Structure 1
Amino acid sequence: MLIHLLANLLANLLYCLSLLADSPSATLLAPKGYHPVVCTNGQQDVEVVYGLNDLIYYTHSTDKGKTYAPAEVIDTLQDLFLVAQRRPQIASNSQTTLVLALNKAGNIFAYVKDKKTGRWTKRIKVSDQPDVAKEGFVSIAAGPGNMFYAVWNDLRGNAQNKVVGARSLDGGRTWSANQKLYQSPEGPICPCCSPSVAIEGSRVYITFRNALAGSRDIHLLTSSDGGQHFGQPQKLGTGTWKLEGCPMDGGGVAIAKPGQVVTAWRRENRIYVAEPGKPEQEVAQGGKNVALASNALGNYIIWQADGKVWAITPRHNTPVSLGMGAFPRVAALPQSAVCVWETENGLLATTL
């Protein structure tokens, strides 16, 4: 009996050591906090926003995620939305860091950091009607110059969730009138799934989960004039997900290389990657809360399953465990990517 017990303990130890050998080491970002989001400016800077109670925190790295500065408080936003994927969002370029956050009443606010001075602005209203973003989902991306585009789920007009967006040409200090981009002809879009946005030059790409013909499939909206006008949505993948409910999982969109858009998302209990107009490719079974980033090396697909965070990267074409945790997010550097996530013992970051 003792020999059998020792053999099991040894087998478990060897298995754990094999996981550690194959998994990147993680850095503790904060001992307390929730729902971190990471962005990069395309070079070596890494920036992270997260929340704790009503506080919005920010930290950054200037060495590709090896070390991080002490976190600073951007603002105290009463009733900050910080639950079930609802979280502050961040995007960055060489001039500006932009953070968006929502309160539970459904209002979106921007905070702008001038990288020359290091100072943050006071909160700036982005949603131009009160209490319309009650689902708490918003995404942002940086474009050319000092342009940013924001997209969110919005109730305006008929109390049914629709895709609404706005752009800023001055780094988030002022915003365009909010624009309704899509409303399902059958009622609301899938309300509890976050939209995602990516920008390449004058082209803006938005993914969202639609509610159409009894299915909850990911669709793509495209603008060729910097977000001023969008075409009709395009369904992604050839399969469909018949579902009478919301899976609370929006997926992600990224620019794989010039002119090539890639998306990653969940359908039923499987994770897929797909390009517009092409069949989807299954990359994993099981999991949820999919995130995506891309660079010249390939795609970084992140998700959670069985209490752990998992990754497929250009170096690992089969899933690799990054450790225990949930609600991961990822951003690409030129030759790597940085993933952040939430655990019971704090917020972690690792370079992939």
Structure 2
Amino acid sequence: MRLFFTLLATLMLAGTAAAQHHNHGKPSAAPEAFTATPAFGPDGTLWLVRATADKIVVVKSTDLGKTFSEPVAVTPEPMNLDWGPDARARIAVDPKGGLIVTFAIFQDKNFNGRAFFARSKDNGASFTPPRPITADKTSQRFETVAVDPSSGRVFATWLDKRNGAKARASGRAYPGAALAYAWEDGDASFGKTEIALDNTCECCRLGVAFAGPGRPAIVFRNIFPGSVRDHAVVTFKDATTPGPLRRVSADDWKIEACPHHGPTIAIAPDGSYHVAWFTDAPSRKGLFYARADNGNVPFGAPRALSSPNRQPARPYLLSDGQALHLVWKEFDGTKSVVRWQVSRDSGRQWTEARTIAETSDASDHPLLVAYGGHAYLSWLTKIEGYRLIPLENQP
């Protein structure tokens, strides 16, 4: 089954740019997807959801990624999958071991999307036919799901353009998209879609963490006055009440386009918030990290993660017990490398950044996943295939 990943990777292409601006003309051929998104089940099974140009499959491993099962189709028929740089199929596992997979398609040549989900109740042997997350057909993209660790409920959030369509129909301007959300209603559908915030940047991935039972916190690239596209966090007061907008940093990146480069968030056991992001503002360029003691205070001064000339990109944060892990990708002139730092005092101090993986060809974004007190780098590369690298074994 390792051969399956290597061969599949060889057939796929991936961009390496740190950020890409929105292109309103669709290319003659959509690029192949090149992603592998992980999740651990409650029994320690590693699940991966994979995408090709028009199909979604799921595989599992019971030996920490050394071997994998045969792929199981999530999409029974070919679909026009969203191939954006920040788009990917995602997978979550509920406390009972049930699987939920989400993904988006393009509905037209104007990049209007539709978000879908599928469920498996038989340990990944089969999936329900994909169903839309919401009944609205305007556009949804960059959907992500997370499981509330307290209740096991599945929370979904995405970028939604229904309010923009309504505004334009009445002759009003509406920059960007809306931040939408819904909670799964049982395991057959999602409940009513609600809008948490209007006028967010429309082409960047979202990050989700939980601040408490029924209290998701979403980090996203917002559109501030003057078309400034900086990052913000909204933390829910309860399951149905989004809290106020909290700006992460004042980079003041004014751009009339979409960076296609979203942020990442983690919330530590002590309630501290941690965010990492990319910016190309005049005042600071590259990847940055900031922390806040809790959800009610401003974030501290941003800390640069790397030199801009190393093309740092795609940060990812994970809180695992008392350890806080942070990875990102760089280019050293000949190879793409994954850099890693860990903090054991809630982000106040960090180890020196070190390289834990590298490749000389195309690669997916570096991701982090944890099970049983152990954290791992999850990384798909064209040459090496899929790798699950234990972080505790790093020097």
The answer to whether TM tops 0.5 is: yes
Moved more, 87-96 or 339-348: 339-348
Partner of 1:322: 357
TM-score by length of 2: 0.73
Please name the residue that 1:332 is paired with.
370
CA deviation digits over 1:164-221, x for unaligned, max 9? 11111424x211111111113xxxx222111121224221110110111342111001
1:341 aligns with 2:343: no
Residue 36 of structure 2 contacts residue 49 of structure 2 at CA under 8 Å; is this kept in 1? Answer: yes
What is the RMSD computed on CA atoms of the aligned residues? 2.6
Local SS of the residue matching 2:326: strand
- State the distance in 2 between where 1:39 and 1:293 align: 13
Structure 1: how far apart are the matches of 2:205 and 2:61? Answer: 27
Number of residues of Structure 1 aligned to a counterpart in Structure 2 = 319
Q: TM-score normalized by structure 1?
A: 0.81
Which residue among 144, 160, 165 is the counterpart of 2:181?
165
2:274 pairs with one of 258, 262, 268: 262
Matching residue of 1:4? none
Secondary structure, in 3 states, of the residue corresponding to 2:299?
coil
Percent of aligned pairs sharing the same letter: 20
Whichever residue aligns with residue 354 of structure 2, its letter is P
The answer for the alignment partner of 1:308 in structure 2 is 336
Higher strand share: 1
Cα 1:236–1:42 change in 2 (3 A) is farther
Distance 2:83 2:125 in 1: 25
C-alpha contact (below 8 Å) 2:233/2:247 kept by paired residues: yes
Match of 1:278 in 2: 299
SS in 2 for 1:326: coil
What secondary structure is seen at the aligned counterpart in 2 of 1:47?
strand
Deviation string 1:241-299 (CA, Å, 9 cap, x unpaired) is 34343221112112322523322212233222222423133222341222222212422
Deviation at 1:28, TM superposition (A): 8.1
Which residue number corresponds to residue 19 of structure 2? none
- Which residue is equivalent to 2:231? 218
- Preserved contact between residue 309 and residue 328 of structure 1 (Cα < 8 Å): no
**Greater relative contact order: 1 or 2 (C-alpha under 8 angstroms, separation 6 or more)?**
1
Which SS does the other structure have where 2:241 is aligned? coil
5+ long unaligned stretches in structure 2: 10-33, 108-112, 166-175, 293-297, 344-350
Kept in 2: contact 1:272–1:282 (CA 8 A): yes
Note if contact 1:37-1:330 (Cα within 8 Å) is conserved in structure 2: no
Give the aligned partner of residue 171 of structure 2: none
In the TM superposition, residue 47 of structure 1 has moved relative to its aligned partner by 1.6
Alignment partner of 1:109 is 2:110: no
Q: Residue 62 and residue 80 in structure 1: after superposition, are their counterparts in 2 closer, same or farther (change >3 A)?
A: same
Select between 244-253 and 308-317 the one with higher mean Cα deviation.
308-317
Q: Which is further off, 114-123 or 198-207?
A: 114-123
Q: Secondary structure of 1:157's match?
A: helix
Q: How does 1:150-299 map to 2 (within 5 A)?
A: 150-159=156-165, 160-171=176-187, 173-184=188-199, 189-199=200-210, 200-214=212-226, 215-226=228-239, 228-237=240-249, 239-268=251-280, 269-276=285-292, 277-279=298-300, 280-285=302-307, 286-299=311-324
